[in-house]
Amino acid sequence: MFQICYASKTTSNDLKILNDLRDILDEARHFNVKHDICGVLYFADEYFFQCLEGDQDTIEMLLDKLFKDPRHHQIKLYQHTEIKQRHFSQWSMKYVKRSSQIQQFFLDQGYEKFAPLCLSQQDLPKLLHLLYEIEETEL
């Protein structure tokens, strides 16, 4: 079992981002069910944060696809590691919308808004725990 976490900035403007988010979630959920991948996606302040869990070869294929996806740039990989158990096994792709808990987490780290490209590796467990605990939302 493998886990990868990354952050990226959207290339979409405010008018297009909602459609892009819907497309990303639809594509991810369809693919993930077929390939036994699970994870979580968070979007706020023009940035994505995503964690994916599953077979290493499949995850690496998804990463390659991500780097070619024109909806993302400034991609930063955080965690690329083997795990004993999945954290997001209940969801093919959980979506968490803007959350005051995530906002507070970043304020506690010294950032005025959601700034996932600035996170350190040590901050990941707390962020992942918050994303696990916060209720899933619909677009």
User: CB count, 10 Å around CB of 108?
Assistant: 10
- CATH fold of 2-133, please? Alpha-Beta Plaits (3.30.70)
- Supply the pLDDT for residue 139: 80
Indicate the pLDDT class of residue 14, thresholds 50, 70 and 90: confident
* Residues 78-93 pLDDT 10s: 878 899 999 999 999 9
> What global pTM score does this model have?
0.94
Give me the long-range contacts of 114-122 (CB less than 8 A, separation at least 24). 114/42, 114/44, 114/45, 114/47, 114/49, 115/45, 115/47, 116/7, 116/47, 116/48, 116/49, 116/76, 117/7, 117/9, 117/47, 117/74, 117/76, 119/7, 119/78, 121/78, 121/79
